[in-house]
Amino acid sequence: MNSADNYSKQVKWLGGLLLVALVAGCDGSNPVDLSPTDPGGGTGTGGAEGHGPAPVELGTAGTYVILAKERVTNVPTSDITGNIGLSPAAASLFAGFAQDLPAGAAFSTAAQVTGNVYASDYAVPTPANLTTAIGDMEAAYTDAAGRPTPDHTELADGNIGGLTLPPGLYKWSGAVTIPGNVTLEGTANDVWIFQIAGGITQASGARVILAGNALAQNIFWQVAGIVAIGTTAHMEGVVLSQTAITLNTGATANGRLLAQTAVTLAGNTIVEE
């Protein structure tokens, strides 16, 4: 057999292997992985090498640990790390902080706040900045609420106390209760989004616990109703409430409290993540 015949046979052999590979990829027996990193659903990646949906973009609302539209009230003494913002309500709708506002200043300070306190009637550029932040907060709420294809629907009929939850998109048509500790376990790149059509009631002393390397900044509670965090309870994550957020005496939170109406505090410790 001459070299030309050998070459022809080798070409046919390689062509046959290629055909087999292509057929296997098309008939599903050995499929090519085309799974998307869908930023809008529950099956994408939360970030580099992460699991869960893509994180919710907070925009400039992410520069506040507490942000509200109507009022922020506090029964002293609270300990808040991060900036507080209120708009379109004026500074008179802050209560219990004893702000110090120099003449013509764009922000005030308070002994209970490690950060700045901003209100819509402070000096420029604060009014415009707060208008943008409120818009970003509302857009973040809409984004979180609109994510399709949840990984879990009506889990435990909304009673998530005692559960360990992996990253993903969770959806409830009613309220969620946390009567006991709930654990969110994952990596630093994993993301959780909780879509809640009702409110959240967290029992006194109940804790949201992060396991592994999970981060509060990657946890988003989108809540249409009232968020009520019980006495000495602990919350983790970004709370996006369409209604109100209330922390009872001694409750703590690691993350952000962003409400489209009011935030009510009573001797709480709030730390931005």
DSSP conformation class of 207: B
User: Could you give the CA distance from residue 137 to residue 68 in angstroms, rounded to a whole number?
Assistant: 9
Q: Is the peptide bond before 31 cis (omega within 30 degrees of 0)?
A: no
User: Could you give the CA distance from residue 9 to residue 15 in angstroms, rounded to a whole number?
Assistant: 10
Q: What value does the mean pLDDT take over residues 224-251?
A: 98
Sign of torsion over alpha carbons 70, 261, 221, 42: negative
Q: What value does the mean pLDDT take over residues 97-103?
A: 97
Residue 162 lies in a domain: yes
| Whether 234 contacts 272, CB under 8 Å | no
Residue 144 lies in a domain: yes
**Number of structural domains, the chain?**
1
Q: How large a percentage of the chain has pLDDT more than 70?
A: 82
Residue 253 lies in a domain: yes
pLDDT, tens digit (0-9, with 9 covering 90-100), for 203-234:
999 999 999 999 999 999 999 999 999 999 99
The CA-based dihedral angle spanning residues 39, 216, 192, 246, taken in that order and rounded to the nearest 10 degrees: -110
| Whether 68 contacts 261, CB under 8 Å | yes
Pairing of strands 269-271, 164-165: unpaired
| Whether 171 contacts 146, CB under 8 Å | no
Query: Taking Cα atoms as reference points, which of 212, 60, 62 lies closest to residue 132?
Result: 60
Which residue spans within 17-147 are E strands per DSSP? 66-68, 71-75, 79-81, 84-86, 94-95, 108-110, 113-119
User: pTM for this structure?
Assistant: 0.84
Q: What value does the mean pLDDT take over residues 117-143?
A: 98
Mean pLDDT of the chain: 88
Burial class (CB in 10 A: 0-12, 13-18, 19+), 224: middle
Helices assigned H by DSSP within the chain? 3-27, 126-146
Contacts of residue 24, defined as CB under 8 A and 6 or more positions apart, other chains included, come to 30
Residue 7 has pLDDT above 80, yes or no: no
Buried/exposed code over 74-96 (b: 16+ C-beta within 10 A; e: otherwise): beeebebebbbbbbebebebbeb
Residue 175: per-residue pLDDT = 98
Residue 23 lies in a domain: no
Q: Is the peptide bond before 39 cis (omega within 30 degrees of 0)?
A: no
- The domain containing residue 99 runs over which residues? 59-271
User: Could you give the CA distance from residue 236 to residue 224 in angstroms, rounded to a whole number?
Assistant: 18
Residue 5 lies in a domain: no
Q: What value does the mean pLDDT take over residues 133-146?
A: 98
pLDDT, tens digit (0-9, with 9 covering 90-100), for 252-261:
999 999 999 9
pLDDT, tens digit (0-9, with 9 covering 90-100), for 57-94:
999 999 999 999 999 999 999 999 999 999 999 999 99
Residue 149 lies in a domain: yes
Q: What is the CA radius of gyration of the chain?
A: 25
How many CA within 13 A on the CB side of residue 254? 13
